[in-house]
Amino acid sequence: MKRYAGVLLSVTSLPSKHGIGCFDRAAYDFVDFLARAGQRYWQILPLGSTSYGGSDDSPYQAFSAFAGNPYMISLDELVREGVLTEAECESADFGSNPARVDFDKLHENRLALLHRAYERSNVGSDPEFHSFCAANHWWLDDYALFMALKSYFQDAAYRQWPEDIRMHWGFALDYYNRELYFDVEFQKYLQYKFDAQWTRLKAYANEKGIQIVGDIPIYVSPDGADVWAHPELFQLDGHNAPVAVAGCPPDGFAAEGQVWGSPLYRWDLHRATDYEWWVTRMWYSFKLYDVVRIDHFRGFDEYFSIPAGDKTALGGHWEQGPGMDLFNTIHRRLGPVHIIAEDLGYMTDSVRQLVRDSGYPNMKVLQFAVDPKDVAGSNEYWPHNYSQNCVVYTGTHDNETVSGWLRGLSREAMAQVRSYLCNPDTPDSQLYRSLINLAMASCARDCIIPIQDYLGLGNEARMNQPATVGKNWRWRLTPGQVTEKLAEEILAVTLRTNRANWDALPKKDAEESEE
């Protein structure tokens, strides 16, 4: 069995210019870094078009299951095209802290630059633009109008729009498409540019031997084009308002559970259509990515239903999901596909069985193994309990960094970690390296480590803290943090644990490593 390794880093966390990571030189440099480090995978967070400002820019709450995030469009590329100038980009205010994304500044100033680029683009006479629009009309038309309407109605949630357009009635669609023609075309231009730039970056990564691990949320945003345009797919009432929403019961992250607010699927209708929407979503995802991680996989076995309007998840209950019927259909219609099942959280025997039946590798997180009460070492997250068909992580985007986590452990928990590692003398500040080595040395087929953990960063570099608002999804690398020395260190542990991607390693480095 071939064993591989990868690095987890959101595109938005790249050390790009202009306020946020994007598809610019920094992205290509990171691909080169992964290749020199002998990695196989670059795992990213969802690429979707996020909502606006402050606490609402979660990549797991996108305006569309298909559209890309315009913030990721490289402004430098638009300068090279001649539709923006360097001076315009340099003078824009994207925030003062290069280590943090300022979403409010981006919404105010980056979108203005993108609109200026559109105005200068003469896109209406571009045959490639029209070909893109024709090929993607099945999602693009509704999405572009939805976004134009969001702007027209001053960013109000679509549930607050006038009834005719809120209900997606045909005559209203015709009217607003005429009235907002250029706003709609602007949104299509953004998707055209996103698609072209991402396609080039992914092709470059693949040429270097790097595969992209994408990430799709199981649910869609309650204020998004999918629900607005296809209300029949979701548990809505006659006015297209949710009757129940998604979330999770109380757990270690939140004592009152989490209310995500996303409308739940009408699985009976999806089944009756041979899961057409889901099959299309997966087909489209595999155009964007080489591997797809499905977030909240357990929701396909059972999902937690919370009455719409509830402020906590305490009144929720479990309902039956589609199970293997969905994945058998995906396999029948798409053939073999590379999926990672994110099966973290509240586990049951039926969830475990669904993962086994699917054949998809599931996830193991080292931080979840530590429990001083587990004197028998029975916790499934300890490496000695793994099967080969899994992907091991030190932590995910929802966890503390491993260094931050270690600093917060109790004396008993730290003693358990050191006992397992048989490593009593390593300084606390360097123990993260031992945990990375433990994950890499495990029998798991693949191992993916967040870049923050390779850098030994504390919780100042944490990406997301569930059940909190206003501080998430903002962390960024700064120029100079990802170095040649770091690539050599990652390559060393990758070689030591037989995970090197020889197809990615530059020929000279591969020959030296074999010697």
Enzyme catalytic residues: 295, 342, 398
Contacts of 119 (CB under 8 A, 6+ apart): none
297 burial type by CB count under 10 A (0-12 exposed, 13-18 middle, 19+ buried) = buried
Of 451, 392, 404, 365, give the one whose Cα is nearest residue 13.
Answer: 451
The first and second tokens of residue 192, run together, are: 């055209």
User: 329: number of CA atoms within 13 Å, CB side?
Assistant: 19
Query: What residues are paired with 7 via a beta bridge?
Result: 42, 449
Beta-strand pair 244-248/302-307: antiparallel
Dist. CA 216–CA 223, nearest whole Å: 17
DSSP code of residue 235: -
* Residue 244 backbone dihedrals phi, psi, to 5 degrees: -150, 150
User: Closest Cα partner for 389 from 366, 419, 420, 358?
Assistant: 358
β partners of residue 363? 391
Going by their DSSP bridges, the two strands 446-450 and 4-8 should be labelled as parallel
Q: Which helix H or strand E contains 333, and what residues bound it? A: helix 324-334
**Of 37, 41, 42, 39, which is closest to residue 509 (Cα–Cα)?**
37
Burial 87-119, CB ≥16 within 10 A → b, else e: eebeebebbeeeebbbbebbbebbbebbeebbe
3-state secondary structure of 50: strand
Q: What share of the chain is helix, strand, coil (3-state, %, to 5)?
A: 45, 15, 40
CA distance 173 to 292: 33
Query: Look-up: residue for tokens 């219609």?
Result: 333
- Residue 22's nearest CA partner among 90, 79, 70 is 70
**CB burial string 311-350: b at 16+ within 10 A, e below:** eebeebeeeebbbeebbebbeeeeeeeebbbbbbbeeeee
- Torsions phi, psi of 314, nearest 5? -65, -25
